[in-house]
């Protein structure tokens, strides 16, 4: 299957892709497959390669926005920098979350060590990171959570799940519970267009979310 087969929305300005879990957006330094190396699959009649306007972690699936030309890139970049793109994520965390919802306001910073490499963590002097959340369901000791990040920090949802809710994401080998695919999906995005109505796109739940579709 090519990336073109995973397009959720396309017009003359923009493409929204349903990014598969396991495929990084940027080309890894060590080599290997990536969205960046396969951008030619998203030309769709254009000569200029599209530009990814934000990032999803390698193991996160779902909505990824691309601009197809320079004016669109400039517009969407301004909207993103102003925090005006609405994002909705779904995640399964390893534990029963008791509260129904709330806001996690927890600044993040990067730490690193020779043995463990780098990761993000709570840092009072770090960059502001805010995530709104709602509990959608609890089953078999796990919880389905809707996350709506208001900032775009690296690994924000994954760290906020672990350190804010106290329950890491299932399948997250860094911040949560290793084993199987990471249960984090960028379910929908909404962003203003320069002309016309809001762009609102949703990605279907991937197969590894089987069992949660009725409550997502």
Residues serving a catalytic function are: 57
β-pair type (61-67, 184-191): parallel
Q: How far apart are CA 138 and CA 99, in angstroms?
A: 11
55 half-sphere exposure, CB direction, 13 A CA radius: 16
Concatenate the DSSP letters of all residues of 92-141 into one string. Answer: EESS---S-EEEEE--EEEEEETTTEEEEEE-TTSB--EEEEEEEEEETT
Three-state DSSP state, 6 = helix
What is the DSSP secondary structure assignment for residue 164, as one 8-state letter?
Answer: I
200, 108 Cβ separation under 8 angstroms: no
Residue (of 123, 165, 114, 127) closest to 144 by Cα position: 165
Q: Which residues pair with 191 in a beta bridge?
A: 199
176, 143 Cβ separation under 8 angstroms: no
What is the DSSP secondary structure assignment for residue 133, as one 8-state letter?
Answer: E
């Amino acid at each position: 299957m090519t990336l073109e087969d995973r397009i959720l929305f396309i017009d003359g300005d923009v493409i929204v892709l349903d990014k598969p879990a396991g495929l990084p957006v940027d080309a890894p330094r060590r080599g290997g497959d990536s969205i960046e190396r396969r951008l030619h699959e998203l030309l769709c009649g254009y000569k200029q390669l599209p530009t990814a306007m934000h990032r999803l972690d390698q193991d996160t699936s779902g909505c990824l926005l691309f601009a197809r030309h320079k004016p669109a890139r400039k517009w969407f970049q301004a909207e993103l920098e102003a925090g005006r793109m609405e994002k909705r994520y779904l995640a399964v965390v390893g534990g029963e979350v008791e509260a129904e919802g709330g806001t996690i306001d927890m600044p993040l910073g990067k730490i690193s060590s020779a043995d463990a490499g780098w990761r993000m963590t709570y840092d009072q002097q770090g960059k502001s990171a805010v995530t709104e959340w709602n509990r959608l369901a609890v089953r078999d000791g796990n919880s389905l959570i809707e996350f709506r990040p208001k900032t775009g920090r690296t690994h924000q949802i994954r760290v906020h799940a672990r350190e804010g809710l106290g329950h890491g994401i299932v399948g997250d080998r860094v911040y949560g519970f290793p084993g199987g695919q990471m249960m984090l999906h960028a379910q929908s995005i909404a962003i203003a267009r320069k002309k016309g109505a809001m762009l609102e796109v949703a990605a279907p739940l991937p197969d590894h979310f089987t069992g949660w579709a009725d409550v997502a």
